[in-house]
């Protein structure tokens, strides 16, 4: 099952709280994956001039996973990330990226498990709280999502999207004042114009009504 993409703005019912679901990875992530792969390839002459140690073999599998992921081949990406983890069970990047691929396939519990493993390995890595929080939203576990976005904001207080997602968690839990405050803060910090901005403005109109 392929993860659903964002629906056109005109198809959204802005009067009801709804989690903003992520679509397939943006071009930014594709560039990031390809850039990482390029770095691996630059060192290929050095790497293959001698037997590969365990970390390098794990990272080579990770690079293959990046490549498959950038091409939308999520199942093959997961297989490569599986190999990276089998070789080096401490490879946090493999868990993180496998979690993203699982999320994009709609395998939310598997994604949750991988993001939780990353947190166990690197509890101060802020972006994994965003990923796990969105996964909790997809699973309708709103209180747990709220806790992750709280943690994300504590680590990155100027990161606008964390306020947007935390606002959604508050919204789903019926906490009008908290949702209004977070939607407002998101709009103050966010420098782009996209569907999230429309959703935030629409929800503020509804939440501000008596």
- Report pLDDT digits (tens) over 35-92: 454 344 434 443 444 444 566 788 889 999 999 999 999 999 999 999 999 999 999 9
Give pLDDT, residue 57: 82
pLDDT tier, 151 (very low <50, low <70, confident <90, very high otherwise): very high
**pLDDT tops 80 at residue 180:** yes
In this structure, the number of other CB atoms found within 10 A of the CB of residue 11 comes to 7
pLDDT at 198 over 70: yes
Angle at 192 between CA 191 and CA 194, to 5 degrees: 150
Q: Does position 119 have pLDDT exceeding 70, yes or no? A: yes
What pLDDT is recorded for position 160? Answer: 97
Instruction: Retrieve residue 70's tokens.
Output: 């950038």
Residue 22 — very low, low, confident or very high, per pLDDT cuts 50/70/90?
low
Q: Is 13 left (phi over 0), alpha (psi -120 to 50) or beta?
A: beta
Residue whose token pair is 């991988």: 114
Angle at the Cα of 31 (from 21 to 52), degrees rounded to 5?
110
Contacts of 197 (CB under 8 A, 6+ apart): 187, 190
The structure tokens listed for 6 are 């964002």
Q: Where are the alpha helices (DSSP H) in the chain?
A: 27-42, 44-47, 54-70, 74-87, 92-104, 108-121, 126-138, 142-155, 160-173, 176-189, 195-208
Q: Is 205 exposed, middle or buried (0-12, 13-18, 19+ CB in 10 A)?
A: exposed
* Lowest pLDDT segment from 1-10, 79-88, 192-201: 1-10
Rounded to 5 degrees, what angle do the CA atoms 16, 19, 21 make?
130
pLDDT of residue 117 exceeding 70, the answer is yes
Ranked by mean pLDDT, the top range of 19-23, 58-62, 169-173 is 169-173
Does 158 score more than 50 pLDDT?
yes
25 against 133, higher pLDDT: 133
Domains and CATH numbers, the chain: 9-208 (1.25.40.10)
CA separation for the pair 167, 161 (Å, rounded): 10
Q: Please state at what angle helix 195-208 crosses helix 160-173, rounded to 10 degrees.
A: 40
Q: Which of 98, 102, 93, 101 is nearest to 59 (CA)?
A: 93
Residue 59's pLDDT is: 86
């Amino acid at each position: 099952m392929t993860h659903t993409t964002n629906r056109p703005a005109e198809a959204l019912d802005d009067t009801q709280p709804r989690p903003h679901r992520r679509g397939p990875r943006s071009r930014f992530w594709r560039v990031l994956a390809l850039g990482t792969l390029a770095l691996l390839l630059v060192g290929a002459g050095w790497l293959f001039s001698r037997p590969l140690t365990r970390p390098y073999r794990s990272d080579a599998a990770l690079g293959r996973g990046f490549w498959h992921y950038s091409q939308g081949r999520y199942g093959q990406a997961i297989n490569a990330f599986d190999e990276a983890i089998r070789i080096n069970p401490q490879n946090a990047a493999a868990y993180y990226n496998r979690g993203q691929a699982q999320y994009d396939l709609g395998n939310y519990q598997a994604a949750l498990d991988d993001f939780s493993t990353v947190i166990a390995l690197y509890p101060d890595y802020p972006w994994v709280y965003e990923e796990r929080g969105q996964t909790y939203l997809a699973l309708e576990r709103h209180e747990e999502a709220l806790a992750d976005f709280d943690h994300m904001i504590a680590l990155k207080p100027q990161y606008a999207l964390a306020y947007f997602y935390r606002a959604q968690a508050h919204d789903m839990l019926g906490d009008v004042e908290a949702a209004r405050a977070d939607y407002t803060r998101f709009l103050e910090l966010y420098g782009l114009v996209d569907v999230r901005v429309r959703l935030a403005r629409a929800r503020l109109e509804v939440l501000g009504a008596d």
